[in-house]
Amino acid sequence: MFFFYGPRFADNKVYELNDTATVLKHPKFDTNRPTVLYLHGYLESMEVESIQVIADAYLARNDHNILILDWAELADGNYLIDAFPNLKPLASALAACILKMAMDGLRLDKFHVVGHSMGGQLAGYIGREVIKQSEKGAKLKRITALDPAFPGFYFPLKFTGALNSKDADFVDVIHTDAWLYGAPFATGHVDFWPNRGKTLQPGCPKRNYKMLTDNDLCSHRRSWRFWAESVTEKNRPSFHAVKCSSWDKFKAGDFDKSEPVVLMGIDCPSG
């Protein structure tokens, strides 16, 4: 199911995947504007804080169509037994939906998929399915993965292919909880590792709490908070980054100063 947010507009109506033509015909949907599809993570729903924070950030910009996928029922239950097997069939359905929308007027050159945690890995699946299903060589323009999920996607517990730079024309990744809930490897064209890219992120409580609680997920969630801050007009440009082989070398200033400074977040150069 989709929820649609237009410029300075939130639609409470639910749109089924087979009813995307109705979304495109909505008077607030502007096909000339960029369109972003946001994918929440495991055990999340439309009621979680990240959905509201992300939606509010884009609404404040007033220059995007925002689609948010509600896949709460498929992202529930046991991680590996229930949610994990749902990724591929869901991605296949979403890819078909996106290609149908493209035929009906959606501009793929302005379409951006953003996903957090398992939603970040789902974005990769969608990208691969778009390539597989397209008869005209279509490909997603950009995928942004916000601390894409680690368990089940990488050694030593790898069951399927993980997000990679072939899934879209441009793939950027923000790591904030590597080796715990988030991927510990570079997987995009550009990978950002703020504050070493690991737990504990600044402001998060020290580890002495139960798994999957708000405190436990603080560093993992910091990725979408960074993204929302980059989206919000008044905070841009906030996150400057340089190319470096490790955090320790970065802290020591041991990197090529001639390399260009790039922005982490929505304004990351994708050309």
What are 128-138's pLDDT values in tens digits?
999 999 988 99
Centroid of chain to Cα 33 = 19
Tens digits of per-residue pLDDT, 142-196?
999 999 999 999 877 777 889 999 999 999 999 999 999 999 999 999 999 999 9
Is 147 annotated in the active site?
A: yes
The pLDDT value given to residue 12:
66
Kindly state whether residue 259 falls inside one of the protein's structural domains: no
What range defines the domain where residue 63 resides?
2-240
Kindly state whether residue 156 falls inside one of the protein's structural domains: yes
Is 117 annotated in the active site?
A: yes
Is 109 annotated in the active site?
A: no
Kindly state whether residue 265 falls inside one of the protein's structural domains: no
Q: How is the chain classified by DSSP, letter by letter?
A: -EEEEETTEEEEEEE-GGGHHHHHTSTT--TTS-EEEEE--TT--TTSHHHHHHHHHHHHHT--EEEEE--TTTT-S-IIIIIGGGHHHHHHHHHHHHHHHHHTT--GGGEEEEEETHHHHHHHHHHHHHHHH-SS----SEEEEES-B-TBTSTTSB-SPPP-TTSSSEEEEE-SSBTTTB--S--SSEEE-GGGGSSPPTTPPPS-S-TTSTTTTHHHHHHHHHHHHHHSGGG-S--EE---S-HHHHHTT-S-TTSPPEE-STT----
Kindly state whether residue 245 falls inside one of the protein's structural domains: no
The pLDDT value given to residue 7:
65
The pLDDT value given to residue 90:
97
Residue 184 tokens read as 């510990």
Kindly state whether residue 142 falls inside one of the protein's structural domains: yes
pTM for the predicted model, two decimal places = 0.95
The pLDDT value given to residue 9:
65
The pLDDT value given to residue 20:
85
Instruction: Given the residues 112, 175, 189, 220, select the one marked as catalytic.
Output: 220
ω into 89 cis (within 30 of 0): no
Instruction: Given the residues 40, 64, 116, 147, select the one marked as catalytic.
Output: 147
The pLDDT value given to residue 19:
86
The pLDDT value given to residue 131:
98
Instruction: Given the residues 117, 165, 219, 223, select the one marked as catalytic.
Output: 117
Counted domains in the chain: 1
Kindly state whether residue 254 falls inside one of the protein's structural domains: no
Give the integer Cα–Cα distance in Å for 215 and 200.
10
Tens digits of per-residue pLDDT, 49-82?
999 999 999 998 889 999 999 999 999 999 999 9
Kindly state whether residue 247 falls inside one of the protein's structural domains: no
Rounded to 10 degrees, what is the CA torsion of 196, 198, 202, 205? -160
Give me the CATH number covering residue 167: 3.40.50.1820
Kindly state whether residue 51 falls inside one of the protein's structural domains: yes
